[in-house]
Structure 1
């Protein structure tokens, strides 16, 4: 299976307004909080989010207990 054939879907209900949820997903500063809600931290300047068809998103999360940075990324 090629990367282009892989589809991923997530569904969940959140007790917030649609606008607040949308902002949390598309605003880079809010996306950084989403990916580092605990003792982890997001690498400076690693968050990118182009919420359009064909746009990309990426987040680098520092994982100090393993002395590594985990990168999450995708394409809309």
Structure 2
């Protein structure tokens, strides 16, 4: 990285100094948008049920979180 790549500037948060990159880096509003509140949960299921969930994930190209979220949302809809 050469000296022209980084500048020191004022951050968008409370006037703090921060590094300002000429390309890439954090930008206000960038990144994946939140779909809700994240809470970590430990879930105990039988091996058979986990296998069914994993198979469904692979077949439908969805993450485990997406599948379980869809099941819960369908139940509470």
TM-score, length basis structure 1:
0.23
Q: Which has the higher contact order (CA 8 A, sep 6+)?
A: 1
Which has a greater percent of strand?
1
Which has a greater percent of helix?
2
TM-score, length basis structure 2:
0.22
Bigger Rg, structure 1 or 2: 2
